[in-house]
C-alpha cells in the first residue's frame, strides 16, 4: 500500500488534537499515545492509552477511541471515519481499524519495533481482506511535531 504523504490543514489540526491526548496519557504515566476519530470534519471520539491505569492490555488509544466512536454512531461500522493517532498502530489496533471499516488512518510517527501499518509489518495491506484503509503519515513542523509524545516511542 503506497502511503499518501500530502498533509492537509485538517490533517494537521486533528493530529494536534491527537498529540494533546498523548500529553494527557503522559501526565498519567502512560505510554504517550493519543487518538482522535473524525467524521464529516467533526471529532466524534478521542482517547489516550490507559493500559497502566486500568491494567488491561487492550486499553490502547485506538481501541478506546473506536469503542467510543461506535457508541456515538450506534454502529460498529465506522465508514467515512478518519482515525488520527500519534504513533503507528500495532497489529491488534491495525486489525481493529480494518474491522471497524475506518476510511483513513493518519499516524504521526513510525514504530520500528511494532508498527503494523508498513514499518515492522503491514496488517492493512493484504489482498485477502475486503476493506481497504488509506494509510497516511503526517509529520508536523514546529513544537508539536517534535513533541516528546512522538519521540518517546522511538527509544
- The catalytic site residues sit at 62
Q: Which three cell numbers stand for residue 145?
A: 511535531
In angstroms, the CA 105 to CA 18 distance is 12
The three-class DSSP label of residue 46 is strand
Helix ranges (DSSP H) in the chain: 9-27, 51-54, 61-73, 91-99, 148-151
- How many residues in total does the chain contain? 155
Amino acid at each position: 500500500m503506497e502511503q499518501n504523504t500530502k498533509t492537509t490543514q485538517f490533517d494537521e489540526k486533528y493530529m494536534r488534537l491527537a498529540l494533546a491526548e498523548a500529553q494527557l496519557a503522559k501526565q498519567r504515566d502512560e505510554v504517550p499515545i493519543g487518538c482522535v476519530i473524525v467524521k464529516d470534519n467533526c471529532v466524534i471520539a478521542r482517547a489516550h492509552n490507559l493500559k497502566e491505569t486500568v491494567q488491561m492490555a487492550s486499553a490502547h488509544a485506538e481501541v478506546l477511541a473506536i469503542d467510543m466512536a461506535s457508541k456515538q454512531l450506534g454502529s460498529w461500522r465506522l465508514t467515512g471515519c478518519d482515525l488520527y493517532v500519534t504513533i503507528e498502530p500495532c497489529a491488534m489496533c491495525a486489525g481493529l481499524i480494518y474491522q471497524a471499516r475506518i476510511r483513513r488512518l493518519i499516524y504521526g510517527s513510525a514504530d520500528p519495533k511494532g508498527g503494523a501499518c508498513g514499518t515492522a509489518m503491514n496488517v492493512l495491506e493484504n489482498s485477502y481482506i475486503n476493506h481497504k484503509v488509506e494509510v497516511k503519515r503526517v509529520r508536523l513542523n514546529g513544537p508539536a511535531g517534535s513533541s516528546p509524545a512522538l519521540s518517546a516511542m522511538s527509544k
